[in-house]
């Protein structure tokens, strides 16, 4: 089966709900669905895949019990998918992804006489010259820059791309595909993956530093409902827990808890393409314990102590007496929590 990763861009009137669930079991009119979903069905059929998993269609949206059940399975859903179809450049579900691509703005079209004497067109561009296109970089490396695509602004889609073993990515200017070993694009170019995305395929050995990178990147993404902060990161946390063999505590890990508590708001942040400023504030609704970075809406950064000036390890001046986090549902142990309590012993600064 295939999975779809895309931007909703608002509520979907055709999503599965309790009132249409029985009717949908009998059949669904493809023409009634948003254009991106229609295009995903087309791609899956072209790939001879019989099944396609789409969150808005496969999760009963007005059933909290079914949501929790499926959120608890999100890791396995995307990891076991044959391929994830990514509508990378569509900012909402109605834009679609199977459209005539815009030409690269540094390309020059010239007349060309074909072998059969017909006059065609050959497209030329400067070899190695950087383009001004938002999706691709220098032509000779065919780089794909995820940060420039709308789908990568969304928090929910992070775990979808992270857990996918193969992806077919429809960008504004090209189609890319990636798996564990190879990164390629339409036109026949392929090579070792260039992009710096962290994923279950790119990380050979998981470390706590990888979690920090993911957490900082995740904090810069948009989320419509603040109460989804834990859920939208849950499948990645589940994946990490198996390798780290550590207790997950609402965004932090028990064995590194003291160091990972050293986070702060990052109102001025830098990415590969931009220097951004973004207001950071405490969520008005309870979405995570106050000591977790997931309780903050906006960018955060970790400032963890490493070594002293002499190179010696720093001794902590406080200790954790206890930390207790209770998930709302045992079906989603890495999702929403009902409460979280942290007790620390240390010096109090006035």
Residue 114 lies in a domain: yes
Same domain, 6 and 135: no
At which residue do the structure tokens 């780089």 appear? 143
Q: What is the DSSP letter of 115?
A: T
Distances in Å between the Cα of 132 and the Cα atoms of 170, 173, 190, 224, 336 are: 18, 11, 22, 30, 41
Q: How many domains does the chain have?
A: 2
Distances in Å between the Cα of 101 and the Cα atoms of 108, 123, 220 are: 16, 14, 29
Residue 38 lies in a domain: yes
Same domain, 13 and 136: no
Q: What is the DSSP letter of 260?
A: H
Same domain, 8 and 119: no
> Mind listing the pLDDT tens digit of every residue in the chain (350 residues)?
999 999 999 889 999 999 999 999 999 999 999 999 999 999 999 999 999 999 999 999 999 999 999 998 999 999 999 999 999 989 999 999 998 776 555 667 888 888 888 888 887 765 544 444 444 443 334 455 666 788 988 999 999 999 999 999 998 878 888 887 778 877 666 665 545 566 666 666 788 989 999 999 999 998 888 899 999 999 999 999 988 999 999 999 999 999 999 999 887 655 544 545 566 778 778 889 999 999 999 899 998 776 566 666 678 888 999 999 999 999 899 999 999 999 999 988 87
Of 67, 68, 92, nearest to 7 (Cα)? 92
**Residue 343 burial (CB < 10 Å; 0-12/13-18/19+)?**
exposed
Same domain, 159 and 32: yes
Same domain, 95 and 178: yes
Residue 89 lies in a domain: yes
Which residues are bridge partners to 193 per DSSP?
A: none
How many residues comprise the chain?
350
User: Each residue of 250-281: b (16+ CB within 10 Å) or e?
Assistant: bbbbeebbbbbbebebbeebeeeeeeeeeeee
How does DSSP assign 4-55, residue by residue?
EE----S--TTS--TTTHHHHHH---GGGS-HHHHHHHHHHHHTT-S-EE-H
Residue 304 lies in a domain: no
Residue 15 lies in a domain: yes
Residues 146 and 160: their CA atoms lie apart, in Å, by: 13
Picking from 117, 141, 165, the residue at the C-terminal end of a domain is: 141
Same domain, 7 and 82: yes
Where in the sequence is the domain holding 117, given as residue range(s)?
Answer: 105-141
């Amino acid at each position: 089966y295939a999975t779809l990763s895309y931007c909703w861009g608002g509520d979907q009137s055709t999503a599965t709900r309790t009132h249409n669930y029985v009717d949908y079991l009998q059949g669904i009119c493809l023409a009634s669905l948003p254009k991106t979903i229609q295009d995903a069905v087309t791609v899956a059929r072209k790939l001879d895949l019989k099944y396609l998993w789409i969150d808005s269609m496969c999760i009963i949206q007005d059933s909290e019990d079914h949501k929790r059940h499926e959120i608890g399975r999100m890791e396995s859903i995307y990891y076991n998918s044959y391929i994830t179809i990514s509508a990378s450049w569509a900012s909402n579900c109605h834009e679609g992804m199977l459209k005539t691509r815009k030409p690269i703005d540094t390309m020059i079209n010239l007349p060309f006489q074909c072998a059969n004497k017909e006059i065609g067109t050959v497209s030329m561009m400067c070899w190695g010259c950087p383009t001004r296109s938002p999706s691709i970089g220098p032509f000779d490396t065919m780089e794909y820059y995820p940060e420039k695509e709308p789908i990568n602004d969304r928090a929910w889609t992070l775990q979808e791309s992270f857990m996918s073993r193969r992806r077919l990515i429809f960008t504004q200017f090209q189609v890319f595909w990636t798996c564990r070993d190879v990164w390629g694009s339409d036109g026949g170019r392929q090579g070792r993956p260039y992009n710096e995305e962290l994923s279950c395929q790119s990380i050979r050995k998981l470390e706590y530093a990888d979690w920090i990178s993911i957490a900082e990147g995740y904090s810069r993404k948009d989320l419509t409902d603040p109460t989804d902060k834990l859920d939208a990161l849950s499948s990645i946390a589940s994946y990490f827990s198996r390798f780290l063999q550590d207790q997950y505590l609402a965004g932090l890990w028990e064995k590194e808890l003291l160091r990972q508590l050293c986070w702060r708001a990052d109102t001025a942040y830098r990415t590969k393409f931009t220097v951004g400023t973004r207001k950071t504030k405490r969520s008005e609704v309870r979405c995570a314990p106050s000591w977790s970075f997931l309780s903050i809406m906006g960018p955060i950064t970790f400032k963890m102590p490493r070594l002293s000036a002499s190179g010696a390890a720093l001794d902590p001046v406080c200790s954790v007496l206890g930390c207790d986090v209770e998930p709302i549902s045992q079906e989603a142990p890495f999702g929403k929590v009902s409460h979280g309590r942290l007790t620390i012993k240390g010096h109090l600064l006035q």
